[in-house]
Amino acid sequence: MSNNFYSYPIKLTPSIRMTYTDSRVHVGRLKNAVDFITRKNTPIMAALDGTVVDVKQDSDTGGDTEYYDKFGNYIEIRHPNGEYSIYEHIKKDGSLVKKRDKVKTGQIIGYSGATGWLAGLGPHLHFDVHKYFGEGPEDYETVEISWQRD
């Protein structure tokens, strides 16, 4: 389980579907990831206080096959507990934050979109909490998320 309670990265409304298992990509190191199926331009919020460590927002391309993986925009945040959260598929120029910015829980950090590898889900926000075990960009494993329900 995650070391802290995380807030939902999106305001949950009846039109938004939250699913752990619809994406066939959520296996192996991504097995604890969650998707929020939502229209483009939905505000995204930091799930916990932290520091922005990476932002990609220059892509306007998405699709259903792995080929599109490299076109995915995202924001990644490091938290004081050693865990990281990531917000993927954001729209082009859809980040309101930049590397090294400090963010607070619930702060709007960007807007959802449909960039990268969408795996047949259409526009959605991919979210996960992970820990690194090595130096490589993919040397991490997702952890089961404890949600702050308020």
Residues lying near Zn ion in the complex (CB under 5 A) are found at 23, 33, 35, 126
Shortest separation between residue 40's beta carbon and Zn ion, angstroms: 16
**Side-chain half-sphere of 89: how many Cα atoms within 13 Å?**
29
Which residue, among 128, 130, 88, has the nearest Cα to 109 in the 3D structure?
Answer: 88
Shortest separation between residue 102's beta carbon and Zn ion, angstroms: 26
Our CB check for Zn ion shows the closer of 74 and 111 to be 74
Label residue 137 exposed, middle or buried (CB < 10 Å: 0-12, 13-18, 19+): exposed
SS3 call for 69: helix
Residue nearest to Zn ion according to CB distances in the complex: 126
Shortest separation between residue 100's beta carbon and Zn ion, angstroms: 26
Which residue, among 92, 86, 85, has the nearest Cα to 123 in the 3D structure?
Answer: 92
Our CB check for Zn ion shows the closer of 4 and 23 to be 23
Our CB check for Zn ion shows the closer of 49 and 143 to be 143
Our CB check for Zn ion shows the closer of 91 and 126 to be 126
Shortest separation between residue 67's beta carbon and Zn ion, angstroms: 16
Q: In this structure, are residues 40 and 91 in contact, taking their beta carbons and an 8 Å threshold?
A: yes
